[in-house]
Amino acid sequence: MQEKLIITQENNKLLLSFNGELTLYEITKLQKQISDYKQKNITTYEIDLQGVSYIDTAVALFLLRFEENRSSAESTVVFTYDNEKLAATLALVKSQRQTVREEVLPPKKTVMQKLTKKLNSLSSGIISFMSFFGQLVLANLHYLKSIKNIRFKEIAFEMNESAIKAIGIVSLTSFLIGLVVAYQSAFQLKSYGANIFIVDMLGISILRELAPLITAIVIAGRSGSAFTAQIGAMKITQELDAMKSMGFDPFAFLVMPRIIALMITLPILIFIADIMGMLGGMIVSNLDLGITTELFLDRFREVVAVKHFYIGILKGPFFAFLIASIGIYRGLVVKDDTQSIGFNTTKSVVESIFAVIVCDALFSIIFTNLGI
Q: pLDDT by residue (tens digit) across 122-157?
A: 788 788 778 877 877 777 677 667 677 677 888 899
DSSP states along 207-266:
IIIIHHHHHHHHHIIIIIHHHHHHHHHHHHTTHHHHHHHTT--HIIIIIHHHHHHHHHHH
Q: What is the pLDDT of residue 76?
A: 83
User: Each residue of 80-93: b (16+ CB within 10 Å) or e?
Assistant: ebeeeebeebbeeb
Least confident segment among 91-105, 196-210, 219-233: 91-105
Output the DSSP codes for 264-302.
HHHHHHHHHHHHHHHHHHHHHHHHHH---HHHHHHHHHH
Q: How confident is the model at residue 28 (pLDDT cuts 50, 70, 90)?
A: confident
Select, from the ranges 38-47, 49-58, 116-125, 296-305, the one with the highest average predicted confidence (pLDDT).
296-305
**Domain map of the chain by residue range?**
5-104, 151-370
Between 130-134, 275-279, 302-306, the lowest mean confidence (pLDDT) is in: 130-134
CB 344 within 8 A of CB 336: no
Residue 106 predicted with pLDDT over 70: no
The CATH H-level superfamily of 5-104 is: STAS domain (3.30.750.24)
Average pLDDT of the segment spanning 179-186: 88
